[in-house]
Structure 1
Amino acid sequence: MLIELLSPSRGRVGVVARGARGPKSRWRGTLEPFQSLFVSLGGRGELATLRRAEPAGRRLTLPAERLASAFYVNELIMRLLRRNDPAAEVFAAYAEVVGGLVDSTRDEAQLLRCFELQLLRLLGYGLSLEQTALGQPVDPAAWYRYRPEVGLEAATGNAADVCRGDAVLALIAGDPVDPGLYRQARRITAAALAPLLGHRPLESRRLQRSRPSTAAGNDTP
């Protein structure tokens, strides 16, 4: 089995787990997504060889309706992190968002926006949203769009790529507010992430868009 690990000291690590798919594999039930493990690695080259793996805490069980968001977080890590770069802060942010997704009392959209902002900052692409690119304060009732390498710009109308100022302010504060604001603020983080992700679509976003609509609206988190 080819697997990807996220480690504080080594960042993203590609690993070969020999015999992991066999019916008598010693790692049956251990090498599962989103779980924290103690591992021992060997070998040289781009892919390490898994020598030992055991749980490093309680097993996390994500609600079925939040699996798409958790896979979205994994896909961001896979697409944006280079292998074998130390990533202690990214590891901490990842552990926080996955732990939050397990807790059904925490707002899903807020968790994702906070993670996206943290990841952008840690990769050196932090967003400045306190004012527009022209130095104007954010008006909660006005509309804005985010342009990479330019910043926040005033916009007109409720176009597909704009959001209201109150959603921008919620994104800055990171406090629990109307979940609809964090869903709308995805337009800001999506615009910031787009140049880094390239043109290949995110498979996890396709999965999220296939989820049934809810009373809160049909925007994905």
Structure 2
Amino acid sequence: MRYAQENAFVLHARPWRETSLLLELLTAQHGRIGMLARGVTGPRRQLLRAALQPLQWIRFDAVQRGELAQLASAEAFDAAPRLVGDAAMAAFYLNELTLRLAPRHDPQPDLFAAYARARERLRAADPLAWTLRRYERDLLDALGLGFDFSADSDGVPIDPAARYRLDPEHGLRRVLTDRGAADRNDAPTGRAVLSLAGDEMPAQGDLASLRRAMRRVLEHHVGPRGLTSWQMLGELSRVVASGQSPGN
């Protein structure tokens, strides 16, 4: 199979042998593609190597003869967002989550569009938590794993004042008022759920409860190995809580 002038986002790139890269790309028409880019580390290939870094939007030609496609040519479609600190970590998380959940060689036009939107929100320095929650929602929807946010698992319309647990297999389940405080705090309000569905940023407390709820859903789909980005964020949180510098 030949890919000609195909658009893709670079999700991951790592060195292979001395002069090559192993890539993971997200395309609209062919889903996730694993690719080998040979001979891209020499001094005359700096522009090509720069175009093959994570978060970059590229146009490429390649040939698929086995599990990995062979890159023939590539050029940057635009300049990737320049991110540092928390924004860089958020981009790493987006790429890792997409890499783990998006299947190979399965057309994903909706996911490609969602990734493009999230990438531009990172560039524009939109609120990171809200950018991530919207991308998680859109990724699950694109993969057929999303939720009906209009009603709970019993078909009852969402009550803004109630709290709901996001069950990855059964949908939204209303949390009983006599459950423990921890159970209620980890369950977003109906108001938060409706805000996510309507693409309207909720209040800070509701946004935090959505993060915890979406995390449980994603853990179910990612599996017990989890994500490296979750481990890194957990370690950073522990360091900050202890009052140490991140380098200690």
Q: Residue 111 of structure 1: which of 131, 135, 145 is its match?
A: 131
Length-normalised TM-score, structure 1: 0.85
Which structure is higher in strand share?
2
Which structure is higher in helix share?
2
Q: Residue 158 of structure 1: which of 182, 192, 200 is its match?
A: 182
- 1:21 CA displacement: 3.2
Aligned CA RMSD, in angstroms, stands at: 2.3
Give the Cα–Cα distance (whole angstroms) in 2 for the partners of residues 19 and 11 of structure 1: 25
Give the Cα–Cα distance (whole angstroms) in 2 for the partners of residues 43 and 165 of structure 1: 47
Give the Cα–Cα distance (whole angstroms) in 1 for the partners of residues 94 and 55 of structure 2: 10
Instruction: Deviation per CA, 1:67-117: give whole Å up to 9, x if none.
Output: 22111111121111221222222111111111111211x221221111111
Give the structure with higher Rg (CA).
Answer: 2
Give the Cα–Cα distance (whole angstroms) in 1 for the partners of residues 32 and 170 of structure 2: 30
Give the Cα–Cα distance (whole angstroms) in 1 for the partners of residues 207 and 173 of structure 2: 19
SS in 2 for 1:29: helix
Give the Cα–Cα distance (whole angstroms) in 1 for the partners of residues 57 and 106 of structure 2: 19
Give yes or no for the alignment of 1:42 onto 2:42. no
Residues 1:150 and 1:8: Cα distance change in structure 2 (over 3 Å): closer
Instruction: Deviation per CA, 1:120-157: give whole Å up to 9, x if none.
Output: 11211220222322333434343321222222222232
Kept after mapping to 2: 8 A contact 1:2/1:14:
yes
Instruction: Letter of the 2:222 partner, please give it.
Output: L
Give yes or no for the alignment of 1:170 onto 2:190. no
Kept after mapping to 1: 8 A contact 2:219/2:226:
no
Between stretches 203-212 and 2-11, larger displacement belongs to 203-212
Instruction: Letter of the 2:49 partner, please give it.
Output: R
Kept after mapping to 1: 8 A contact 2:149/2:197:
yes
Give the Cα–Cα distance (whole angstroms) in 1 for the partners of residues 100 and 80 of structure 2: 26
Give the Cα–Cα distance (whole angstroms) in 1 for the partners of residues 101 and 49 of structure 2: 29
Aligned residues between the structures = 213
Q: Residue 232 of structure 2: which of 193, 207, 210 is its match?
A: 207
Higher relative contact order (CA 8 A, sep 6+): 1
